[in-house]
Amino acid sequence: MSDLLDPELRARSARTWRDADDRPPVVPDLLHPPDPGTTGLRDRHRLLWQRHALRRERAQAHLMTALDPDRGLPVARSRTVVDYLRGLLRERSRLVVLVTLANGLAAAAGLAVPLLLGRLVDAVDLSGGDPAVGVVRDLVLLVVVVLVAQAVLTYAAKGLAAVLGQGVLAQAREHVIRAVLRLPLGKVESASTGDLVTRVTRDVGSMSGAVRWALPEFIIGVVTVLLTVVFMVLNSWALALPTLVTASLSLFQIRRYLQQAPAGYLLEGATYSDINTTLTETVEGARTVEAYRMQQDRRSAGVDDIEVSSQAERYGLVLRNVLFAVMDMAFSLPRVITLVVGAWLYSRDAVTIGDITTAMLYIETFYGPFDRLVGTIDRLQVGVASTTRLLGIAEVPPDRTAGDDRPEGSTLVGQRLRYAYRPGHDVLHGIDLRLEPGERLAIVGPSGSGKSTLGRLISGIHAPTGGTVRVGGVELTELPLELLRTEVALVTQEHHVFRGSVRDNVELARDGAGEDGVWRALATVDALDWVQALPQGLDTVLGSGHHEVTPAQAQQIALARLILADPHTLVLDEATSLIDPRTARHLEGSMNALLTGRTVVAIAHRLHTAHDADRIAVVTDGRIVELGSHDELIAAGGEYAALWRAWTS
């Protein structure tokens, strides 16, 4: 049987086919702990750290590939992100100062309370348990004033922080979408959208967490931690010393954690998205799974994903445990040391009971903000990683520069066209083609012959790697995009209906066409009846979760767009236009209204499309092998004639 295949293909097939199931396990065996009772405690301990190191390597390796994808869109450098962020903050410098100030004052007020409580304890203690009424009253009043101030300042500080975070975030995400909307046409047509979808969903989400929450919290955290230290020292430097020493000792471990954590969390995030992708496929393909009895395979795929994800989670778990072990000790031991030191100093009359009380209260409040600060830096780092991918979108170089020449006439001429997706692998080998205004040309040929590529060249999506495509004497790719669209349009996947009003969905083809223009276009494609019947007419919002249109209506909207865009030449690619035969039947009139009076190039799958055209070009292996009217080609008795006979006889 296999001798049916071409020998080169057969050789490659033999080389790449795997007979035995020799796929390596999804995670190396080294990552599994030994069975209980098989190894001694020492060995278990050693193996634990060995696994941790291995997981770190995996996380680092993932970080490298995530930052430097071998295909898809570029990734910006961290430096760019920091500069961009700094720019956004500079635009709001007054707000930043206000947030810092309000938080500083709120934190100071909060820190004043333990100090005042300490004074109260002293007042009671030093008076032998019977403090002067005036002193107590003054202290109570002072605490009340401080508390009210703290409450008001907290409200202002958190509120302003929300304004700052939300403002920066909104501006950043709008910047990203603008960059998406500026992506070069050629890139959009050739790249798969998966990478971009991930960026505008997951990466925007992660940036959002960082900017909206972590950025303000970072400011708050830094201010609070610094002020706590200041107040501790102000209260009593001797009693502050134990905390400061242990806290600074823990900084070493915190630094290590912060260096290693982002790669770990990035990997965790990626594994969850893998789990989700696999499950999504299992759900969407539920019927296929059932038909091919692939239940066990899909379950195993899920188990594999979870296994990989578990390993990423274990890495994070150990990282945090090491951090917590150090931090928990560093922040709770001072409690005991301070008490011992306090007791000793008290016995030497160096501190009062009030001082010790205040110091002990500070120790209890120090851990919270410090712990949050570490968490914040974590999130910020992950956010920066995501933002590098978002800003990378803006770094795609433009694929054309518009010239000043304007076309004279609407004749489209392609000469000696060559194109290679990979250097040295031409898919078109010097094609000459001249389209007379108003003619219908059908391009037919087997898949992989280059006919879709030819369609992209004559609609100005890609510049040819050799030869020229000119309309009215001007190179297509030297026209400004706005002008190109009025000359020639490639009709692909036009069944997409945007989330937006009917008006937006149609008017997009000619911004500013106005109400009348939109209605006229809809009338031309016979879409008047159903649009008028919509609850809010042109303002009815379409898309999933809103008003859903039928495939035929979606197609009419697509055709109305083209009516409005009004190019003199249309390139219809049946391979990608997905014109559904079930709806096409009803759209005949709408379609004819669009095509009347235009030059049409149809990359045809169906032979009737070819039969009805003025001329037919048969493309094989990147060359036009037959060109002429249906009758001429039938008379010539070539490949087209043979195909036609097979169809109709």
Partner 1 sequence: MRDFPPQVSAWTDARDGAGHQAGIGVPDTRGPLRFLWWLLRQQGDLVLAGCLCSLLWMLPTALTPWVFGQAVDEGIRAGDAGRTALWCGVLLLITLVGASSGVFYHTVVVRSWLYAAYGQTRLVTHQVTRLGHVMPRRAPTGEVLSVNGSDGDQFGHFIEIFSRLVGNVVAYVLVAVIVLQISVPLGLVVLLVAPVLALVSSVLLRPMAAAQTRERSRDSELTSMATDIVAGLRILRGIGGERIFGANYARQSQRVRQAGVQAGSWGAFVEAVGVLLSGLFVVALMVLGVQRVRDGDLQIGELITFLGYALFLVQPIRVVFEAAQQITRSVVSARKTIGVFGTTDPWPERAPLEPDQLRALAEGELVDASSGLRVRPGRLTMVVSALPDESARLADRLGRYLPAGDTVPSGDDEATGRAARRAAAERSRVRADLESRDAERAQGAWGVTLDGTDLADLPLDQVRSRVLVSDTAAHVFAGTLQDAVDPHRTLRREQAEAALHAAAAEDVYDILPGGWQGVLDERGRGLSGGQRQRLVLTRALAADPPVLVLVEPTSAVDAHTEARIADRLPTHRRGRTTVVMTASPLLLHHADEVAFLVDGAVVATGTHDELVTGHPAYRSTVLRGDAEAAPAGSTTTTTTTTNGTTQEVTP
Are the CB atoms for 477 and 186 separated by under 8 Å? no
The CB-of-79 to partner 1 minimum distance in angstroms stands at 26
Are the CB atoms for 203 and 390 separated by under 8 Å? yes
Query: How many Å from the N-terminal Cα to the C-terminal Cα in the chain?
Result: 30
Which residues 156-175 are close enough to bind partner 1 by CB under 8 A? Answer: 156-159, 161-163, 165-167, 169-170, 173-174
Helix (H) or strand (E) holding 615: strand 615-620
The CB-of-408 to partner 1 minimum distance in angstroms stands at 24
- Which residue in the set 383, 445, 464, 622 belongs to the binding site for partner 1 (CB under 8 A)? 445
Furthest-apart CA atoms within the chain: distance in Å: 122
Number of residues in contact with partner 1 under rule CB under 8 A: 196
Q: Binding segment for partner 1 among 46-54, 382-390, 466-474, 641-649 (CB under 8 A)?
A: 641-649
Residue with smaller CB distance to partner 1, 131 or 264: 131
Taking residues 223 to 262 in sequence order and writing x for each that binds partner 1 by CB under 8 A, - otherwise, the string is: ----------------------------------------
- Which residue in the set 500, 537, 551, 638 belongs to the binding site for partner 1 (CB under 8 A)? 500
Residue with smaller CB distance to partner 1, 79 or 424: 424
- Which residue in the set 430, 526, 534, 644 belongs to the binding site for partner 1 (CB under 8 A)? 644
Which residues 300-329 are close enough to bind partner 1 by CB under 8 A? Answer: 302-303, 306-307, 309-310, 313, 317, 320-321, 324-325, 328-329
Pull the structure tokens for residue 225: 């931690």
What is the C-alpha radius of gyration for the chain, rounded to an integer number of angstroms? 35
Pull the structure tokens for residue 7: 């020998």
C-alpha to C-alpha distance for 175 and 388, rounded to whole angstroms:
13
Phi, psi of 381 (to 5 degrees): -65, -45
Q: Tell me whether residue 360 is exposed, middle or buried, using C-beta atoms within 10 angstroms of its C-beta: 0 to 12, 13 to 18, 19 or more.
A: middle
Residue with smaller CB distance to partner 1, 294 or 534: 294
Which residues 361-380 are close enough to bind partner 1 by CB under 8 A? Answer: 361, 364
Taking residues 527 to 546 in sequence order and writing x for each that binds partner 1 by CB under 8 A, - otherwise, the string is: ----------------xxx-
Per CB under 8 A, 289 contacts partner 1: yes
Which residues 334-353 are close enough to bind partner 1 by CB under 8 A? Answer: 335-336, 339-340, 342-343, 346-347, 353
Residue with smaller CB distance to partner 1, 77 or 132: 132
Are the CB atoms for 471 and 488 separated by under 8 Å? yes
- Which residue in the set 235, 260, 282, 453 belongs to the binding site for partner 1 (CB under 8 A)? 282
- Which residue(s) pair with 573 in the sheet? 603
Residue with smaller CB distance to partner 1, 79 or 293: 293
The CB-of-221 to partner 1 minimum distance in angstroms stands at 15
Percent composition of the chain: helix, strand, coil (DSSP 3-state, to 5): 65, 10, 25
Q: Binding segment for partner 1 among 62-70, 257-265, 373-381, 481-489 (CB under 8 A)?
A: 481-489
Q: Are strands 569-573 and 599-603 parallel, antiparallel or unpaired?
A: parallel
The CB-of-48 to partner 1 minimum distance in angstroms stands at 12
- Which residue in the set 248, 259, 550, 596 belongs to the binding site for partner 1 (CB under 8 A)? 596
Residue 417: Cβ within 10 Å count? 24
Torsion region of 424: left, alpha or beta (phi above 0 gives left; psi -120 to 50 gives alpha) = left
Taking residues 184 to 223 in sequence order and writing x for each that binds partner 1 by CB under 8 A, - otherwise, the string is: -x--xx--xxx-xx--xx--xx--x---x-----------
Per CB under 8 A, 65 contacts partner 1: no
Which residues 9-38 are close enough to bind partner 1 by CB under 8 A? Answer: 9-10, 12-19, 21
- As a three-state string, the secondary structure of 98-136 is HHHHHHHHHHHHHHHHHHHHHHHHHHHHHCCCCCCHHHH
Residue 619: Cβ within 10 Å count? 23
C-alpha to C-alpha distance for 211 and 371, rounded to whole angstroms:
19
Residue with smaller CB distance to partner 1, 535 or 545: 545
The CB-of-11 to partner 1 minimum distance in angstroms stands at 10
Residue with smaller CB distance to partner 1, 20 or 41: 20
How wide is the angle at C-alpha 174 spanned by C-alphas 168 and 178, nearest 5°? 145
- Which residue in the set 241, 534, 595, 625 belongs to the binding site for partner 1 (CB under 8 A)? 595
Residue with smaller CB distance to partner 1, 77 or 343: 343
Per CB under 8 A, 104 contacts partner 1: no
C-alpha to C-alpha distance for 232 and 146, rounded to whole angstroms:
18
Helix (H) or strand (E) holding 166: helix 133-181
Q: Tell me whether residue 452 is exposed, middle or buried, using C-beta atoms within 10 angstroms of its C-beta: 0 to 12, 13 to 18, 19 or more.
A: buried
C-alpha to C-alpha distance for 591 and 576, rounded to whole angstroms:
17
Residue with smaller CB distance to partner 1, 50 or 201: 201
